[in-house]
Structure 1
């Protein structure tokens, strides 16, 4: 869709790019059985449904490769936390999408 929009209309505004990234995140959430994603003060909390079928090894590799940007909380074992920091909406949605794609 992004390529078609660029071909037809030229440079895509940042808001449209963010919207397309959010659509990709929704698709990934369905694949991973993610119940919710909530972002507050630069931290995205990703809650997996109780029946999620994710690879623990992929999650551990993501944490190891993230240089502290991805963390677990022992009191919330069905969640991972992404430190998005103070970045724009486009960058934030792309960051979250990139991290989730690594555990598909």
Structure 2
């Protein structure tokens, strides 16, 4: 759909591209039982539903891929924190997308 709109109207504004990226992220998030994705300053918090499919092995592998750009938290809900220092909104969305794609690949 994004390609069709681009062909018809030319280069899309960044805000419209970001909107398409958010739609893709919502789709991917459903596949790995994400409850919510929130931004806190320079961090993005991906919180998971109870009974999520992530195992310790998957978390170790995802940590190996993204290094110090991610950390884990297990308060009321299990969460992955993404460090997004000096990222534009588009870069942040791309980073979230990469993390979710990697999680899906590892499942």
Q: Same fold (TM over 0.5)?
A: yes
Number of aligned residues: 104
TM score, norm. by length of structure 2: 0.85
1:32/1:52 contact within 8 Å kept: yes
Q: Which residue is 1:10 aligned to?
A: 10
Q: Which stretches in structure 1 are left out of the alignment for 5+ residues?
A: none
Q: Which stretches in structure 2 are left out of the alignment for 5+ residues?
A: none
2:47/2:77 contact within 8 Å kept: no
1:35/1:47 contact within 8 Å kept: yes
Alpha-carbon shift at residue 36 of structure 1 (Å): 0.8
Which runs of structure 2 are paired with 1:1-104 in the superposition (5 Å)? Answer: 1-73=1-73, 75=75, 78-104=78-104
- RMSD (Å) for aligned C-alpha atoms: 1.7
TM score, norm. by length of structure 1: 0.87
| Larger helix proportion of the pair | 2
